[in-house]
């Protein structure tokens, strides 16, 4: 599976493959340390994701 570079991978997603890798890395991070996430439930995470996408430049 494609690995994104360290740092801010959300700034590096430019293809479908990179999006898949980014989501897989999010899942792995949640499994390892989900209790530290600000939005540790699916509904809170999806609400925050929608807000982040809405506020992002097109």
CA atoms in the 13 A half-sphere facing the CB of 38: 4
Residue 52 is predicted with a pLDDT of 86
The pLDDT averaged over each successive group of 10 residues in the chain (58 residues) is: 56 82 89 90 93 85
Give the whole-angstrom CA distance, residue 39 versus residue 46.
9
Residue 10 is predicted with a pLDDT of 56
Query: Which positions ≥6 away from 39 have C-beta within 8 Å?
Result: 45, 47, 48
Residue 7 is predicted with a pLDDT of 64
Give the tokens for residue 51.
């807000």
Residue 11 is predicted with a pLDDT of 63
């Amino acid at each position: 599976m494609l690995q994104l570079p360290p740092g801010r991978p959300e700034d590096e997603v430019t293809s479908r493959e990179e999006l898949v890798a980014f989501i897989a890395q999010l899942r792995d991070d949640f499994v390892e340390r989900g209790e530290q996430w600000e939005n540790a439930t699916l509904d809170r995470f999806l609400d925050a994701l929608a807000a982040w996408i809405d506020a992002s430049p097109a």
